[in-house]
């Protein structure tokens, strides 16, 4: 049993290293140009080689077999016997995806589906078969010869997926010339529609590539009463007839690829009669059917496993652990110093007791900081995915984009890091699709042909700022305003600040795009981005100049576990408000106060009139005084709204550890959680945005009652 466990550990190490290697390969391939930077290609080759070796050792013959053919191509590039073409790079990038998918299946202890790998093997063979002028050297021929058995071996291993009637040799020959079409089994995730993807559009696009037959699989559709119309229960089997490159077919699925199960099966010319008549395709068909029958088992757990892996373990830099060990060492020393006093205590020892306690305080604080540091990861982990995304997307959109990353080493909490990924992807997609113009438009506007997209991260105060900046067309204020008026979001004669206008794009369902593309334009998205960021306790700002570009600035707390808090007192109760939400605190004179309709009290703060929240009324507390002039007004801001909150006294500013109220109790309106004071009592943490919402709701209810 212990051997099993040990084996499991070693396996996990292999998976972790393989994923790391794949990431190295991916980022290497993206920077690889035909300038033939030897070190880059060597790095890629080494990564591929270790994956192959590891997979072979652990008996994942499918992975090692496929990686071997990738390695062959890389080897030729490394030896300089083969030119590095964009075409080859694209295939290599796809191979990385395929290997990653296979490794994930292996990790999830599921059968490795070879259809994607087989399709790519064809592509690889085709490229390997292309004679490059310089490649007439004996050494590359040897490599070619080596590739063929490798592929043959490939087909042997997964004979169950491969049609047994199909001999691989003719297939390779056919692959070089007579590709007749593709059979694609497309099983989207149930959330397909929610990601704004329309299968019809995909099919239309496929139909442009060749003759298309579509068969829908309705097995998974529940009965009408259980049917959720927002979910996609269908899957499709598509037969595309036409000699189309795999890359072009795959491109159509770019947007759904990540969340769907897509199996490609090439149809070769030499076997056409077989293909249409019998086993040759029936066999993969059943293989495919089986996997679509298992769709629930295959697709979902894979994602689940991925999500689990993301939050499950943490890779920590050795220095951080060393620092921690040092601190614990000091703590042990301090503890032994203190325990001395328990044995014998003389009055004159009081001074050294104090010293020891001071040291204990320092140790504890340092230890807390170091432990928090462990959860802090560089944002580079999140940025890393963007070079690939931008590469693929700019290719698809026909735009030239240079991606600049800076501040990758800025650290933030792991939880925040994980949750910020999706909103960032959305913002980057938006910037590429709507922000940056096509090369022709850019030249016409007097800009350089290549657009720039910058991702930037840095610390500011207790927050981390992430900026997504493009030098594209910028937001068109008139168009946003016109659209907003059309939809009745804004009074037709209202004068709005720039900020206000830009914020309109966060309204659900708002889109100014003339055409809805499969990239974006349906108006779902920006509201989700803002909601996700608000959930993390952050906020989004937009800066844009028409013709010059836009900047989206996200401000996030460094961690979700600790809050810079301002401790407040109302009557006998103590509350904590996040310091970030406090603009300032003022003592009001009666002159600054006014009343609207005898109910809503307003406070004149500079040029604004702010509604006054009486926290004691809202929470039912007996305050020191009900007179506003006796208390303090704390000016709070959240979601772009400002209010003044009346409290009796401000106490300390301190870092507080956020504890959940929900674990044992429940969510309470206006409260974000609780924290524990030095004396062991509990103080509640105010949820400022929630508080403002609750307050405004109550106001409107009261006004409603009064009317």
Partner 1 sequence: MSTHDPIAAAVPDPSKPTLDGTTNQYLSFFLGGEEYATNILSVQEIKGWDTVTRVPYSPDYILGVINLRGSIVPVVDLRVRFALPNAVFDAATVIIVVHVAGTRGDRIVGIVVDAVSDVYTLASENIKPPPDVMGAVDHLFVVGLASMDDKLVIILDIERLVTSSVQGDSKAA
Q: C-beta of 371: minimal distance to partner 1 in Å?
A: 14
Is residue 620 a contact point for partner 1 (CB under 8 A)? yes
Is residue 704 a contact point for partner 1 (CB under 8 A)? no
Q: How many residues bind partner 1 (CB under 8 A)?
A: 25
Is residue 665 a contact point for partner 1 (CB under 8 A)? yes
Is residue 11 a contact point for partner 1 (CB under 8 A)? no
Please give the Cα distance from 635 to 646 (Å, whole number): 9
Check if the beta carbon of residue 388 is closer than 8 Å to that of residue 26: yes
* Region 563-592 residues binding partner 1, contact defined as CB under 8 A: 573-574
- Taking Cα atoms as reference points, which of 313, 321, 309, 264 lies closest to residue 123? 264
* Sequence-separated (6 or more) residues with CB below 8 Å from residue 505: 475, 480, 512, 526, 542
Is residue 659 a contact point for partner 1 (CB under 8 A)? yes
Is residue 681 a contact point for partner 1 (CB under 8 A)? yes
Q: Which of 138, 312, 680, 704 binds partner 1 (CB under 8 A)?
A: 680
Q: Which of 216, 669, 701, 703 binds partner 1 (CB under 8 A)?
A: 669
Q: Which of 602, 618, 650, 651 binds partner 1 (CB under 8 A)?
A: 618
Please give the Cα distance from 170 to 172 (Å, whole number): 5
Check if the beta carbon of residue 674 is closer than 8 Å to that of residue 685: yes
- Taking Cα atoms as reference points, which of 461, 465, 417 lies closest to residue 580? 461
Among the candidate windows 46-54, 295-303, 522-530, 668-676, which touches partner 1 by CB under 8 A? Answer: 668-676
Among the candidate windows 264-272, 310-318, 420-428, 616-624, which touches partner 1 by CB under 8 A? Answer: 616-624
Q: C-beta of 665: minimal distance to partner 1 in Å?
A: 4
Is residue 703 a contact point for partner 1 (CB under 8 A)? no
Nearer to partner 1, 214 or 696 (CB): 696
* Sequence-separated (6 or more) residues with CB below 8 Å from residue 256: 186, 188, 192, 195, 197, 202, 262
Is residue 690 a contact point for partner 1 (CB under 8 A)? no
Q: Which of 393, 428, 526, 684 binds partner 1 (CB under 8 A)?
A: 684
Q: C-beta of 506: minimal distance to partner 1 in Å?
A: 29
Q: Which of 671, 690, 693, 699 binds partner 1 (CB under 8 A)?
A: 671
Structure tokens at 622: 């007996």
Q: Which of 683, 690, 696, 699 binds partner 1 (CB under 8 A)?
A: 683
Q: Strand 682-686 to strand 573-578: parallel, antiparallel, or no bridges (unpaired)? A: parallel
Please give the Cα distance from 650 to 659 (Å, whole number): 22
Maximum C-alpha span of the chain: 102
- Taking Cα atoms as reference points, which of 646, 599, 655 lies closest to residue 619? 646
Which own/partner pairs from 616-622 qualify as long-range (CB within 8 Å, at least 24 positions apart)? 616/570, 616/571, 616/646, 618/670, 618/691, 618/694, 618/695, 618/698, 619/570, 619/573, 619/670, 621/570, 621/571, 621/572, 621/573, 622/571, 622/572
Among the candidate windows 53-61, 334-342, 583-591, 670-678, which touches partner 1 by CB under 8 A? Answer: 670-678
Nearer to partner 1, 196 or 671 (CB): 671
Is residue 701 a contact point for partner 1 (CB under 8 A)? no
Q: Give CA separation, 459 vs 223, 379, 406, 412, in Å.
A: 52, 11, 12, 9
Q: C-beta of 676: minimal distance to partner 1 in Å?
A: 5
Is residue 670 a contact point for partner 1 (CB under 8 A)? yes
Q: Which of 323, 389, 496, 661 binds partner 1 (CB under 8 A)?
A: 661
Is residue 367 a contact point for partner 1 (CB under 8 A)? no
Nearer to partner 1, 307 or 682 (CB): 682
CB count within 10 Å of CB 348 equals: 7
Binding site for partner 1 (CB under 8 A): 573-574, 618-621, 659-661, 663-666, 668-671, 673-674, 676, 680-684
């Amino acid at each position: 049993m212990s051997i099993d466990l040990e084996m499991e550990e070693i396996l996990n190490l292999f998976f972790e290293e393989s994923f790391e290697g794949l990431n190295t390969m991916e980022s290497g391939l993206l920077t690889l140009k035909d300038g033939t930077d030897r070190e880059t290609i060597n790095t890629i080759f080494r990564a591929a080689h270790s994956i192959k070796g590891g997979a072979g050792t652990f008996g994942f013959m499918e992975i090692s077999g496929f990686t071997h053919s990738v390695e062959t191509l890389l080897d030729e590039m490394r030896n300089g016997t083969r030119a590095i073409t964009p075409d080859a790079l694209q295939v290599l990038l796809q191979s990385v995806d395929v290997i990653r998918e296979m490794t994930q299946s292996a990790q999830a202890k599921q059968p490795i589906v070879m259809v994607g790998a087989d399709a790519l093997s064809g592509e690889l063979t085709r490229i390997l078969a292309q004679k490059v002028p310089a490649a007439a050297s004996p050494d590359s021929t040897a490599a070619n010869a080596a590739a063929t058995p490798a592929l043959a071996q490939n087909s042997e291993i997964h004979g169950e997926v491969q049609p047994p009637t199909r001999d691989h040799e003719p297939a390779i020959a056919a692959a070089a010339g007579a590709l007749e079409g593709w059979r694609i089994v497309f099983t989207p995730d149930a959330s397909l529609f929610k990601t704004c993807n329309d299968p019809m559009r995909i099919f239309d696009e496929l139909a442009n590539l060749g003759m298309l037959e579509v068969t829908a699989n309705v097995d998974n559709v529940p009965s009408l009463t259980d049917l959720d119309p927002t979910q996609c229960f269908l899957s499709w089997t598509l037969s595309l007839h036409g000699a189309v490159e795999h890359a072009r077919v795959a491109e159509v699925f770019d947007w759904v690829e990540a969340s769907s199960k897509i199996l490609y099966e090439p149809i070769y010319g030499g076997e056409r009669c077989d293909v249409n008549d019998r086993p040759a395709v029936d066999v993969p068909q059943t293989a495919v059917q089986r996997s679509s029958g298992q769709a629930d088992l295959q697709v979902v757990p894979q994602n689940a496993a991925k999500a689990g892996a993301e939050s499950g373990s943490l890779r920590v830099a050795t220095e951080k652990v060393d620092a921690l060990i040092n601190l614990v060492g000091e703590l042990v020393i301090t503890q032994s110093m203190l325990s001395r006093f328990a044995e014998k205590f003389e009055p004159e020892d009081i001074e050294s007791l104090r010293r020891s306690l001071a040291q204990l305080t320092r140790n504890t604080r340092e230890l807390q900081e170091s432990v928090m540091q462990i959860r802090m990861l560089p944002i580079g982990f999140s940025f890393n995915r963007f070079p690939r995304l931008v590469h693929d997307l700019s290719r698809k959109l026909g735009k030239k984009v240079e991606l600049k990353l800076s501040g990758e080493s800025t650290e933030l909490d792991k939880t925040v890091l994980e949750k910020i990924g999706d909103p960032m992807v959305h913002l980057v997609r938006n910037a590429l699709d709507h922000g940056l113009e096509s090369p022709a438009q850019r030249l016409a506007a007097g800009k350089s042909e290549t657009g720039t997209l910058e991702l930037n991260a840095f610390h500011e105060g207790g927050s981390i700022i992430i900026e997504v900046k493009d030098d594209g067309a910028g937001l068109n204020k008139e168009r946003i305003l016109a659209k907003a008026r059309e939809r009745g979001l804004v009074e037709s004669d209202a004068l709005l600040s720039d900020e206000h206008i830009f914020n309109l794009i966060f309204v659900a369902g708002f889109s100014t795009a003339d055409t809805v593309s499969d990239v974006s334009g349906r108006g779902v998205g920006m509201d989700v981005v803002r909601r996700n960021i608000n959930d993390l306790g952050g906020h989004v700002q937009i800066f844009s100049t028409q013709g010059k570009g836009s900047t989206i600035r996200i401000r996030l707390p460094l961690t979700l576990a600790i809050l810079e808090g301002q401790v407040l007192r109302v009557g006998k109760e103590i509350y904590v408000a996040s310091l970030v939400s406090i603009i300032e605190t003022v003592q009001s004179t009666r002159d600054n106060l006014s009343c609207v309709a005898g109910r809503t009290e307003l406070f004149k703060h500079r040029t604004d009139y702010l509604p006054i929240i009486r926290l004691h009324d809202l929470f039912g507390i007996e305050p020191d005084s009900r007179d506003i002039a006796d208390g303090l007004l704390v000016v709070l801001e959240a979601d772009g709204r400002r209010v003044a909150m009346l409290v009796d006294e401000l106490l300390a500013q301190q870092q507080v550890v956020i504890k959940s109220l929900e674990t044992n109790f429940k969510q309470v309106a206006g409260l974000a959680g609780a924290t524990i004071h030095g004396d062991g009592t509990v103080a509640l943490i105010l949820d400022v945005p929630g508080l403002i919402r609750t307050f405004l709701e109550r106001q409107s209810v009261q006004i409603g009652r009064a009317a």
